[in-house]
Amino acid sequence: MVKFARTTFAAGSIAFIFIGVLHTYVHLVELAGVDLRARFVGIGPVALQGSDISAWDLFQGTSLLMGFFSLALGFILLATLFQSPKGQVPHWSICITTCFMLLGISIVGGLYLSSFQLIGGILGILCFGFPVLVARRHEHKTNSAN
């Protein structure tokens, strides 16, 4: 069970890296074009914390940060997995925190973007949820032995 849990954790971590690379690539190739920029310029400035920022700049920054965030999170999660002893999964709190974040991605993605975010969020919750069960079981066994 531990090996399968480590595999699902690795798959979820690699998925974050893949999504980060894909999102950044699509942003630079398709979402930074002249046609889309013209649409955002038409929106005009957006008031943000007392400053007026162009909608285009706000979109560019948010979109690129999304890609970078996903990449960084994937690498951090993989590093956490590699730092865990071979017979264990990363601490359950890391897994459950990631599940809560994926729940938020599922909800926001389902409401505002597409069903793909909802499906991806659910698959991610499974990838990180199974290690939670294994970690809690291991923790319970360790506490019972003491």
Split into its structural domains, the chain has a count of 1
Residue 95's domain comprises 2-145
> What are φ and ψ of residue 58, in 5° steps?
-65, -45
Contacts of 97 (CB under 8 A, 6+ apart): none
Q: List, for residues 73-111, the tens digit of each pLDDT value.
A: 999 999 999 999 988 899 889 999 999 999 998 898 888
Q: List, for residues 57-67, the tens digit of each pLDDT value.
A: 888 898 899 99
Tell me how far apart the alpha carbons of residues 145 and 57 are, in angstroms, rounded to a whole number.
57
pTM: 0.84
